[in-house]
Structure 1
Amino acid sequence: MAIRTLILLEGHRSIGLLYIKAAQHLGLHPITLASDPSQYGYLSTEGIHSVKVDTSNLDAIIDECSRLCDTHNIAGVTGFTGADESIYIMVSKLCRHFGLLGPDPASIERCCDKFVQRQFLAQADVSMPAYRLASDLIGAKSSAAEIGLPVIVKPTVGSGSCGVRLCRTVDELTEHAAYLLGRKHTSHSSARILVEEFVQGPQYSAYAMGNSIVGICAADFGSPPYFVYRHFSFPAPLSNHEHERIAHMSLSCLRALGLGCGPAHIEFRWTNRGPVVIEVNPRLPGGTAPRLIQLAHGVDLVTEHIRFVIGEEWDLRRRHSHNAAAHFLVPDRDGMLDSIDGDRAAAIQGVAEVKFYVEPKSPILRTGDYRDTIGHVIATSPSPAQTEAILQRAVDLIEWSITPYPPLGQ
């Protein structure tokens, strides 16, 4: 009898194992297809079935899945991304090829190109930052002059804040634009960049499954010019009016982009003109968001996403109403991680999780994006103030040591 199987394209350091465990709980046999399975330590630690295959090559993935079909009943396909959103395009095309439930490839492709995404949102009158597309330094400078400094400069393709930078001066703009235009920032990007208005205000993310808004999270970044998440709190402290406006705009974004099949999250800034859409992502976010939602509302988005993928009825009903928050650990220097210890933090009542992404004796090399985070702490309680107090106490107890690299030439 064929084994009922869930195919996972690539893995993920924070939510990959959650998908593995949820699939197994649903009676599925998870198989990870990855270009380099060894980079996902949990696969070997947990003894998970994995296959090495070029996940940038659709034909290679189709061939491997066709081979697996001889002994496995593929019930569904999903996947993860790091700096490159192309995996979701592969997932959608793979689902289409095998007649499985999944998003429309055209919708995913238009969403993953940030300029095309902005064009579709503009047609739907969604509030966004002013933006221009540039393919050379002259265009980048003229775009910044039209919008007004400071501006955000980013590649048109990518995720995890890779290549995203705040440029306050013409010199900073020139340097960063030249860097992005001078090389392919990812293997699937072209020499095009976005120059955008720097809108300021509190940051929020709305999480959707299908056409339902599951909740809204508040977020904080570290210090500019980079945008590395440092803190999440769920649910966000919003008035009913603010919540309704963000939820309404989120659904408008999904309609404009042809999404609404599976998970998505929409990033906002709340400005003096109300919510402004920063980005729409056609996927469940990595990091801590799924865990926060489960702790705060009892909704397991990972399990419900898998239920959707395999054609079962999902359930987004809230089981309770708590508060949950996460703090990311971000080093302040490059060097060698000598040690890291979270035992005392994990022992505090109300701490739900202490997780490190790196092992001692690992090199630390900051890049100004999601890869700078080396771990997180999650806390939960009945009230926001209590949750933040627990979280701060736990973070203060995390101990790590980094030996800086010697200066060049020594």
Structure 2
Amino acid sequence: MRRLIMIGGWTEIYVKAKACGFHLTVVQQKEDITFEDFLIADQIISSPMGEKVVVDLVETLHRREAYHAVVSFQEFGLLNAALIQERLGILGNPIGPVLLTRDKGHMRAHMKANGIPSIPFATVNSPEEVIAFAQQCGWPIIIKPVNGAGSLQVHKLFSEDEVVPAYNAIKQDFLTTDLIKYDFPDIGIIAEKFIEGPEVSVEAISWDGQHTILGVTDKITTGYPGFVETGHSMPSALAPEKIDAIKRLTISFLTSIGHLYGPSHSEIIFSETGPVIVESHTRTGGDRIFEMTELACGVDMFTATLQGLSGAFPDIQMTKTNGAAIRYLSLPTGRVKSISGLDTAHQSPGVVRCDITVKAGDICKRPQNSDERAGYILANGDSGPQAIENVMRALAKVTVEVERLNA
């Protein structure tokens, strides 16, 4: 039996790994381990995904009984999985593409050196350096953590007066510090020229360096100031020639960074000069985009990756040409007084999931990052427009009454 070490994950992924015939060892933090997980996995190591001691511990276990492969499907487990692959020499994605995509400054420098369309940028170490960059390329600009995710601490700045508060917010935000402290000891910040245009993500899977584009996904955000994602739909409604250009850029980028095995999620803006990569990740997209991909084209990116790691050829044959869409609940700041219509929404045509995370009595607010959203509805359809129609119809059936908080 082939032995797999998985850094992070959740119950449904563990089930898929066992279905592929693995002896499964999981590394996951205590609060994210369920009782059911103990019934599925063969061994569970309770530890934060990014703790560097995990690499040493896995090496010790490997000496006793060898692992054959390592994988992570979560942002903050990717680096340790790659370090384990490098140290043990087992099957898994190498460290190069992980380091390049986890640090946006290194990624942009790599793109510039390899002639891949990018955005004017600078890694900055002070508010003064942010201002100098903006004076060089022009306002507005974006500043954000070099290795953030989930719309965390993304700031659009229009003038010098906004620089110090935004810079300090990134440095001081406990979420930023907590999420990245295992990967990088300092909170790096990148400044980028703000560019406009429709934004999409590209869902792909790679095996032995061969890249298959599974879908291009349209994105909706709250826009300025936080750019929190509020919806996705696939396939993209962009013109076919734009989709082709986006696919070519994605394949060129993935090849250049040496991405070998598993899923990827690349975020791209189609600017007035053509497509440019905003960021990329050697994992599936969040926001259930992995499920949308399976609904729309029939490929389960988790199972396909695990099949490859088990020694079989990944099943990446696209068997569907359908649509899928997700929309997140938008609530004003206040206290939730009541929620109604959930059962009706769940029974609405095309609805796959209706997951509302607030309840009566909860305090809600305009989300500042993806984790602060109040829930979502996911739907499918015979096409992208039909999936969007289905999800919007269901969303309209949900009523959340919010009362204003006393000042």
TM range, smaller chain: 0.7 to 0.9
After superposition, residues 249-260 of structure 1 pair within 5 angstroms as 249-260=249-260
After superposition, residues 236-275 of structure 1 pair within 5 angstroms as 236-275=236-275
Q: Is the 8 A contact 2:323 2:385 kept in 1?
A: no
Q: Is the 8 A contact 2:11 2:36 kept in 1?
A: no
1:55 aligned onto 2:49: yes
Distance 1:383 1:111, change over 3 A: closer
1:253 & 1:111 partners in 2: Cα distance? 11
1:146 & 1:55 partners in 2: Cα distance? 39
Q: Is the 8 A contact 1:337 1:363 kept in 2?
A: no
**2:395 corresponding residue in structure 1:** 395
1:283 & 1:357 partners in 2: Cα distance? 25
Query: Equivalent residue of 2:91, what SS?
Result: coil
Distance 1:189 1:393, change over 3 A: farther
Of the structure 1 ranges 309-318 and 349-358, higher mean CA displacement relative to structure 2 is found in 349-358
Of the structure 1 ranges 273-282 and 171-180, higher mean CA displacement relative to structure 2 is found in 171-180
Kindly provide the CA deviation profile for residues 349-370 of structure 1, in whole angstroms up to 9, marking residues without a partner as x. 2112222456666665666111
1:207 & 1:170 partners in 2: Cα distance? 37
**1:87 corresponding residue in structure 2:** 77
Distance 1:227 1:6, change over 3 A: farther
Q: Is the 8 A contact 1:339 1:402 kept in 2?
A: no
Query: Equivalent residue of 1:225, what SS?
Result: coil
Of the structure 1 ranges 178-187 and 160-169, higher mean CA displacement relative to structure 2 is found in 178-187
After superposition, residues 5-404 of structure 1 pair within 5 angstroms as 5-11=3-9, 16-28=10-22, 30-35=24-29, 37-39=30-32, 43-44=34-35, 47-49=39-41, 50-63=44-57, 66-67=60-61, 74-81=67-74, 85-181=75-171, 185-186=176-177, 187=181, 188-210=184-206, 211-333=211-333, 335=335, 342-357=342-357, 364=364, 368-401=368-401
Query: Equivalent residue of 1:96, what SS?
Result: helix
| Matched letter for residue 260 of structure 2 | G
Distance 1:402 1:96, change over 3 A: farther
Q: Is the 8 A contact 2:333 2:363 kept in 1?
A: no
User: CA shift at 1:333, angstroms?
Assistant: 2.0
Kindly provide the CA deviation profile for residues 168-187 of structure 1, in whole angstroms up to 9, marking residues without a partner as x. 23222221012224578331
Q: Is the 8 A contact 1:331 1:372 kept in 2?
A: no
Task: Compute the RMSD of aligned alpha carbons.
Answer: 2.7
Of the structure 1 ranges 304-313 and 132-141, higher mean CA displacement relative to structure 2 is found in 304-313
Distance 1:348 1:339, change over 3 A: closer
Query: Equivalent residue of 2:161, what SS?
Result: helix
Q: Is the 8 A contact 1:135 1:181 kept in 2?
A: no
Q: Is the 8 A contact 2:141 2:194 kept in 1?
A: yes
Kindly provide the CA deviation profile for residues 200-241 of structure 1, in whole angstroms up to 9, marking residues without a partner as x. 111111112112222211111113111211111111123332
| Matched letter for residue 71 of structure 2 | T
1:7 & 1:127 partners in 2: Cα distance? 36
Query: Equivalent residue of 1:285, what SS?
Result: coil
Q: Is the 8 A contact 1:130 1:147 kept in 2?
A: yes
Distance 1:240 1:103, change over 3 A: same
Structure 2-normalised TM-score?
A: 0.87
Q: Is the 8 A contact 1:199 1:271 kept in 2?
A: yes
| Matched letter for residue 316 of structure 2 | L
Q: List alignment gaps of at least 5 residues for structure 1.
A: none
Distance 1:171 1:34, change over 3 A: same
1:193 & 1:131 partners in 2: Cα distance? 11
Kindly provide the CA deviation profile for residues 148-184 of structure 1, in whole angstroms up to 9, marking residues without a partner as x. 1111111112211211111223222221012224578
2:278 & 2:22 partners in 1: Cα distance? 36
1:177 & 1:68 partners in 2: Cα distance? 43
User: CA shift at 1:399, angstroms?
Assistant: 3.7
Identity %: 21
Distance 1:174 1:65, change over 3 A: same
Q: Is the 8 A contact 1:54 1:61 kept in 2?
A: no
2:217 & 2:78 partners in 1: Cα distance? 23
Q: List alignment gaps of at least 5 residues for structure 2.
A: none
Query: Equivalent residue of 1:292, what SS?
Result: helix
